[in-house]
Chains A and B, each alone.
Chain A
Amino acid sequence: MLIENLQKSFGQHEVLKGVALKIEKGEILGFVGGNGAGKTTTLNCITGLVEQDCGKVMINNVLKSQSLAYKKQFYFIPDTIHVFPNIAAYDWIHFVLSLYERTDDAKLQSFIHIFGMEKSINKPMGTFSYGMLHKMALITAFTISPPILIMDEPLNGLDPLAVVAFKNCLKEYVENGGTVLFSTHLLDVAEKICRSICFLKDGKIVLHESLENLLVDGSLETIFMEKQANEG
């Protein structure tokens, strides 16, 4: 994935001030930053939920402007999962899979089992908790297994078993050639999952480094605090 000079303003407020980023295949990149740093806006610009004012976004050499081909390159899990409350989760997942032309029911069943959703999968989604909705979104994402998985705070609301399941699925997904980009506030989680970290502050990337190199200088928490203080 290649992002060049991404800029976005909402009225007078400049949220992204030229974000540039390159993510290699097989990478797990954690997007870290304080509230209002521009993490969600960057993800929204990449996924097309928001149109950038300036800049280029490309996945697997497919430009964002090549709408349909581009959208097939990723699966996006937003922070808020939007659902139809009266439709059963299983029907909903099938609907989303059909948009990606995926029909592998055995794969779907295995992920339903991994995330422990067998008992609730036929219930209307209106009865689901926040965490259950996130599990449902993760089941869908891993079943589709797109080239890039983009997630905004994917661990929010997940119970400990689901977090373990998520980590295992993510590992397998990356081993099979997938790439991951996700935003998080949980630095300890980022430290355990990510292969590289990207710090975002005031709409700019202030650091993009492999986790291995970063941890030489201390924990992620220490580095984050230093960066916040220095740049501020």
Chain B
Amino acid sequence: MSAFIALSKKEVQQMAREFKILWLPIVFILLGLTQPIMMYYLPVILQSAGGIEGIIIDPTMAKPEGQEVLASTLNSQFDQLGIIILAVATMSIIQGEKANGMMGFILTRPVSISSYLNSKIIIHYILAVICIALGYAVSYGYSAYLFTTVPMTQAMWAFVFYCVWLLFIITFVAMISTFFNSPAFIALISIVILLVCRFIAGLHPFIDAVNPASNSLSAANILMTGNLEARYSIHIIVTLLLVLLMITTMHGFIAKKKF
């Protein structure tokens, strides 16, 4: 346990030195801010940009609800740009230490592979949750200000489900980072596979059952309807099992000194 704490402190220290704990939250706050503002000012933006010709904006058209705006923050901003940014920010999580020999150094000290992997995944996950929480909170505030207020319990449940998808994203990028040595390749593979997972979510109930991106869809559905359906728990269980499987695979890979 003391090794895990020491390694976690080292991770935080590294993030601070690389200013990751500063720029990553700022980026997600901006992402969270963009969606409600864009949706509110879209007609004005179109008009001032001169692209209104041939388009009729119905003045009686109902304004979107706060729920819709918040759901589109999750599904449009965080699930597209957000995934790309997280993959880039996390791509060197293991690869960097493999390349500079630090992994070899640490693993020849009294440190288990589990402590090493868990400290990395947990600290990066906590940072990702904080970033998403800040972006989500800003989006929530602006949605309430510009549109309608989303019930707090609904917003909280949606956030919890989104965090499960987030855990998968971080663990998946960490796994790819363990297997490959090129940061660009790690980022590319991670982004493509995660975006494919997200785009196929909702296509078929069977695919949804095994697709971790279904948790993001569940989050949006909770925001829109306020209902917690039983199938959502299956998505969570399957995602957690996949996370466990990925950690076990990484453990086996490192234990066989394939680095």
> How far apart are B8's CB and chain A's nearest CB, in angstroms?
11
Best-surrounded residue of B7, B9, B110, B257 (most CB of chain A within 10 A): B110
The CA of A84 and the CA of B3, in the complex, are separated in Å by 18
A100 and B110 within 8 A (CB): yes
Type the 1/0 row for A48-82, where 1 means its CB is closer than 8 Å to any CB of B: 11110000000000000001100110001010101
Chain B residue contacts of A49, Cβ below 8 A? 104, 107-108, 257
A86 and B17 within 8 A (CB): yes
A98 in complex: contacting residue of B6, B100, B101, B102, CB < 8 Å? B6
A101 and B112 within 8 A (CB): no
A96 and B2 within 8 A (CB): no
Known A87-B17, A95-B6, A98-B6; judge A76-B108 contact (CB<8 A). yes
The CA of A86 and the CA of B16, in the complex, are separated in Å by 10
Judge if B10 is at the interface, Cβ distance under 8 Å. Answer: yes
Chain A residue contacts of B111, Cβ below 8 A? 71, 99
Judge if B14 is at the interface, Cβ distance under 8 Å. Answer: yes
A71 and B110 within 8 A (CB): yes
B100 and A82 within 8 A (CB): yes
Count of chain B residues near A, Cβ 8 A:
25
Chain A residue contacts of B3, Cβ below 8 A? 98-99
Count of chain A residues near B, Cβ 8 A:
24
Residues facing B in A99-138 (CB within 8 A) are 99-101
Judge if A212 is at the interface, Cβ distance under 8 Å. Answer: no
A48 and B108 within 8 A (CB): yes
A82 and B104 within 8 A (CB): yes
A87 and B257 within 8 A (CB): no
B110 in complex: contacting residue of A50, A83, A87, A99, CB < 8 Å? A99
Chain A residue contacts of B14, Cβ below 8 A? 84, 87
A68 and B110 within 8 A (CB): yes
- The chain A residue with its CB closest to the CB of B17 is A86
> How far apart are A49's CB and chain B's nearest CB, in angstroms?
5
Chain B residue contacts of A101, Cβ below 8 A? 2
The CA of A83 and the CA of B107, in the complex, are separated in Å by 14
Type the 1/0 row for B95-113, where 1 means its CB is closer than 8 Å to any CB of A: 0000011101111111110
The CA of A221 and the CA of B122, in the complex, are separated in Å by 54
A82 in complex: contacting residue of B13, B17, B105, B110, CB < 8 Å? B105
Judge if A91 is at the interface, Cβ distance under 8 Å. Answer: yes
A99 in complex: contacting residue of B102, B104, B109, CB < 8 Å? B109
The CA of A87 and the CA of B105, in the complex, are separated in Å by 16
> How far apart are A172's CB and chain B's nearest CB, in angstroms?
23
Judge if A184 is at the interface, Cβ distance under 8 Å. Answer: no
> How far apart are B27's CB and chain A's nearest CB, in angstroms?
21
Chain A residue contacts of B257, Cβ below 8 A? 49-51
B9 and A95 within 8 A (CB): yes
A71 and B108 within 8 A (CB): yes
A72 in complex: contacting residue of B5, B18, B100, B110, CB < 8 Å? B110
Known A84-B14, A87-B14, A91-B13; judge A67-B112 contact (CB<8 A). yes
Type the 1/0 row for A164-206, where 1 means its CB is closer than 8 Å to any CB of B: 0000000000000000000000000000000000000000000
B101 and A80 within 8 A (CB): yes
Residues facing A in B9-42 (CB within 8 A) are 9-10, 13-14, 17-18
- The chain A residue with its CB closest to the CB of B10 is A95
> How far apart are A134's CB and chain B's nearest CB, in angstroms?
14
A47 and B108 within 8 A (CB): yes
The CA of A191 and the CA of B104, in the complex, are separated in Å by 31
> How far apart are B82's CB and chain A's nearest CB, in angstroms?
27
Query: What 6 A-B pairs have minimum CB-CB distances, sorted nearest first?
Result: A82-B101, A98-B6, A71-B110, A86-B17, A99-B109, A82-B105
**Cross-chain pairs A/B with CB under 8 angstroms, 25 sampled:** A48-B107, A48-B108, A49-B257, A51-B257, A68-B110, A71-B108, A71-B109, A71-B110, A72-B110, A82-B101, A82-B105, A84-B14, A84-B17, A86-B18, A87-B14, A91-B13, A95-B9, A95-B10, A96-B109, A98-B3, A99-B106, A99-B109, A100-B109, A100-B110, A101-B2
Which A residues are within 8 Å of any B CB, using their own CB?
A: 47-51, 67-68, 71-72, 76, 78, 80, 82-84, 86-87, 91, 95-96, 98-101
17 more A-B residue pairs beyond the given contacts A82-B104, A98-B5, with a C-beta to C-beta distance below 8 A: A48-B107, A49-B107, A51-B257, A71-B108, A71-B110, A82-B100, A86-B18, A87-B13, A91-B13, A95-B10, A99-B2, A99-B6, A99-B7, A99-B109, A99-B110, A100-B109, A100-B110
Which B residues are within 8 Å of any A CB, using their own CB?
A: 2-3, 5-7, 9-10, 13-14, 17-18, 100-102, 104-112, 256-257
